[in-house]
Amino acid sequence: MSSDSFAGHLKTLIIGDVQADRVVPPSGFTAQLTLFAAGAMAFLAVFALALSLASGRLADRWADELARAATLRINAPAEQRAAQTEAALKILRQTPGVASARAFTADEQAALLAPWFGAGVPLDALPVPQLIEVIEDDPGYDATGLRLRLQAEVPGAVLDDHTRWREPLVEAAHSLRLLAVVSILLIAGAMGAMITLAANAALAANAQVIEVLRLVGAQDGYIAQAFIRRFTLRALSGAAVGMAFGMLGVWLMPAASDEGGFLTGLGFQGFGWLLPLAIPLLGALVAYVATTRAAKKRLGDLT
Amino acid sequence: MLWGKTSGQKLGAAVIELDNLGYNYGGGELLSGVSVKLAPGSFHFLTGPSGAGKTTLLKLCYGALTPTSGRVRAFNMDVKGLDRDQMALLRRRVGVVHQDCRFLDHLPVIENIALPLTVSGRDLGQEEANLRELLNWVGLADRSDALPPELSGGERQRAALARSVILSPDVIIADEPTGNVDWEMSQRLLQLLVELNRMGKTILVATHDLSLIRAAKNQVQARVLRIWDRQLHLAGADL
């Protein structure tokens, strides 16, 4: 289809033809079914999209935040802890690929333990290891070589580069995003199936109208257009309403917070709020394709 | 009278030609070896007993059915070779009046009559005068806003005739147009068909009403074709 004919086709679809629209009588239940199906699917699609975006953000954040950081734990008797900490820091400063290394202060360690032991933890009375935050450079350090050196020179040092738990978390977040994308595709497919059923019902209910139109010289494109336009606009309007309710639902969800964890971050951010606007257009496209196929098949069966 | 115009196209010997046509239905042979030519401006009656295949033959003429054997030519085109869009264009050149009229019941009479204009993308605003003239001609000027179910049998047939001529087709095919109307109305419908023939239209009317044929013979030179024993015969003077 050339760009001119496509533009003409789109114009006809949007503006329509009052006379042509009157030729096919309004169909009761198929109209309501299309509106309801499009609305419900758009509502679900908004949540699937929000989930997809949120899990994507989560995967990126976990990957970014954890990939460049590591923790060195000094498990040494209290009298050796300061010396081993200093030795470890010295090694870290000499290690290529380490951007910075810093020992946590007593207050910072107490803050980390506060969620479990409450405020004002007497660190002196507890066998709490000294923690050192290691920030990786780009390119990073050789973790195996660093471990071997620490093992030889700082016997109480244990390097945790977060790999053990970062990868499954990032993988889970990616899986969640994939699941959300698959959900959107399934929603589009289910909507297409429902609209195909509704269009077939409308075409069957109007078999006599179609027969009369053929007899007076209507071309297939003209007949199909009457149905396609109707179903496309219904899907567009139904999906717009569903999308509006879906966005309202997402907007009413609690804002992202550290306390609430992942669930409170389920929403849109910035330009992300514009993405759901594509859902009604996608719904209209699905309806257009589904009705075109149904009409083509049905009209092809007639003489 | 725009709807009374003929296309002016140079036609061959026949506007519609059936050549050795056969049609099977329900496992049996309904029509066999049917050959006929409808010359431009001719008037034909098609008669025969019920179930003989009159309606089938008409449908074969305007491409609503495909023959089992033989060939249908319309306006020098082989109907079998036409694609669906070309078939639709052919139907704009052949006005058809069905016995049951086939209206869109949700549209008023005037919009039903204008349906061929609507589907061919004409602007109804520009055709208004033409439409009103046609309504006057068939005597339905005061029924233009009525819905089809509100019309009497005669009014429905006249509306169907008006719809069949609105695009000024070259051929008008009518299937039992007087089947559901009284004598007076059948004479009026016949008069309208005769007038169309005098405008140069080719007319083919299927009917089992022999009195209609006799009445027509006083007004127009009509050939009478009779389906008998699956074949088409030129009827004699016994009618």
Can you tell me the distance from the alpha carbon of A240 to that of A41, in angstroms, rounded to the nearest whole number?
A: 10
Q: By the CB < 8 Å criterion, does B132 face chain A?
A: no
> What are residue A16's DSSP bridge partners?
none
CA distance A25 to chain B (A): 7
CA distance A265 to A50: 9
B115 vs A contacts (CB less than 8 Å): 23, 212-213, 216
Res A261: pLDDT? 56
pLDDT at B69: 95
| C-beta of residue A213 within 8 angstroms of C-beta of residue A23 | yes
For tokens 């620490």, name the residue: A150
Q: Does B169 touch chain A (CB under 8 A)?
A: no
Cβ-based contacts of A299 with chain B (< 8 Å): 84
Of B66, B120, B124, the CB nearest to A217: B120
Q: What is the pLDDT along chain A (303 residues), one digit of tens a residue?
A: 556 666 766 777 777 777 777 888 876 777 888 899 999 999 999 999 998 888 888 777 777 766 678 888 988 887 888 888 999 999 988 888 888 889 888 888 888 887 777 777 676 777 788 899 888 887 878 888 888 888 888 888 888 877 767 778 778 888 888 888 899 999 999 989 998 888 888 888 888 899 899 999 999 988 998 889 888 999 999 999 999 999 999 988 877 665 555 555 677 888 888 999 999 999 999 999 999 999 998 888 776
Residue B83 sits at the chain A interface (C-beta within 8 Å): no
- How far away is chain A from the Cα of B107, in angstroms, using its nearest Cα? 8
For residue B106, the chain A residue with the least C-alpha distance is A25
Asked if B86 is an interface residue toward chain A (Cβ–Cβ < 8 A), one would say no
- Sorted by sequence, the CB contacts under 8 Å of residue A200 that are 6+ apart come out as A294, A298
Chain A contact for B66 (CB, 8 A cutoff): yes
Whole-angstrom Cα distance, residue B177 to residue B189? 8
Cβ–Cβ under 8 Å, residues B196 and B137? no
**Rounded Cα–Cα distance for residues B93 and B38 (Å):** 14
Q: Which residues contact B173 (CB under 8 A, 6 or more apart)?
A: B58, B61, B62, B94, B95, B96, B97, B164, B204, B205, B206
Asked whether B101 and B155 are in contact (CB, 8 A), the reply is no
Query: Is B77 in the A-facing interface, judged by CB distances under 8 Å?
Result: no
User: Is the minimum CB–CB distance between B235 and chain A shorter than 8 Å?
Assistant: no
CA dihedral B183, B188, B191, B196 (to 10 degrees): -130
Structure token digits, residue B226: 């009779």
A·B CB contacts under 8 A: 62
The span from the CA of A185 to the CA of B8, in Å, is 57
Domain ranges of chain A: 3-63+167-300, 76-155
**Under an 8 Å CB criterion, which residues of A touch B?**
19-20, 22-23, 25, 208-209, 211-222, 299-300, 303
pLDDT in tens, chain B (239 residues): 555 555 444 445 789 999 999 999 888 899 999 999 999 999 999 999 988 899 999 999 999 999 999 999 999 899 988 999 999 999 999 999 988 888 999 999 999 999 999 999 888 888 888 899 889 988 999 999 999 999 998 899 899 999 998 998 999 999 998 887 788 888 988 998 999 999 999 999 999 888 889 888 888 899 999 998 888 888 864 55
Distance CA B16, CA B221 (A): 18
Domains of chain B with bracketed CATH: 12-100+169-234 (3.40.50.300)
In sequence order, the 6+-apart residues with CB closer than 8 A to the CB of A143 are: A70, A159, A161
Torsion angle in degrees (nearest 10) through CA of A158, A161, A167, A170: 130
- Contact A216/B106, CB-based, under 8 Å? no
In angstroms, the CA B121 to CA B127 distance is 12
Distance CA B115, CA A218 (A): 9
